[in-house]
């Protein structure tokens, strides 16, 4: 199952890239939302090979995922892959400078089931695809607005 959306942000590409690659901020955000996050690498600077283990509750069950940063090409692209016993997938973020002060961000998320149970879960998500697409796009829009306000400060 694949989701994708684009958003134009009133901020320079370098600023946007620095914000989306602030992994410590995302770790803190996940912790505030009740997830348990543990860093699995010992890299000093952000780069490919960074890895995390996450535990969180979703749809009434405890879930575990491992994330790894596989690509970090400043300021154009970032790719994270995820693995669990039931599913795999990736998050790809592409950035395009539209002008000195405007950036287009393109998110692609793909989830691939690995067993029958996760196939059934994906099938139920496909039935709600329209609602999930709207929610995904709204989340990206909100994040874009947040980045714009951070840049203006």
Q: Structure pTM?
A: 0.85
Q: What's the pLDDT at 145?
A: 94
Instruction: Give pLDDT tens digits along the chain (153 positions).
Output: 899 999 999 999 999 999 999 998 888 888 888 889 999 988 888 889 999 998 888 777 788 889 999 999 999 999 999 987 788 899 999 999 999 999 999 999 999 988 888 888 888 888 888 898 999 999 999 999 999 999 998
DSSP result, 74-122? TTTEEEEEEE-SSEEEEEEEEEEEEETTEEEEEEEEEEEE-SHHHHHHH
Domains and CATH numbers, the chain: 2-152 (3.30.530.20)
């Amino acid at each position: 199952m694949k989701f994708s959306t684009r958003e134009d942000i009133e901020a320079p590409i370098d600023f946007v890239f620095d914000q989306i690659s602030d992994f410590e901020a995302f770790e803190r955000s996940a912790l505030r939302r009740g997830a348990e996050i543990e860093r699995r690498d010992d890299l000093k600077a952000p780069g490919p090979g960074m890895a995390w283990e996450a535990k969180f509750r979703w749809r009434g069950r405890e879930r575990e995922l491992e994330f790894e940063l596989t690509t970090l090409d400043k300021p154009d692209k970032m790719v994270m892959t995820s693995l669990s016993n039931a599913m795999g997938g990736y998050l790809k973020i592409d950035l395009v400078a539209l002008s000195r002060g405007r950036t287009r961000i393109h998110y692609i998320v793909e989830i691939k089931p690995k067993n029958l149970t996760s196939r059934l879960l994906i099938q139920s998500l496909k039935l709600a695809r329209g609602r999930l697409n709207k929610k995904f796009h709204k989340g990206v829009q909100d994040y874009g607005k947040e980045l714009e306000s951070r840049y203006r400060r």
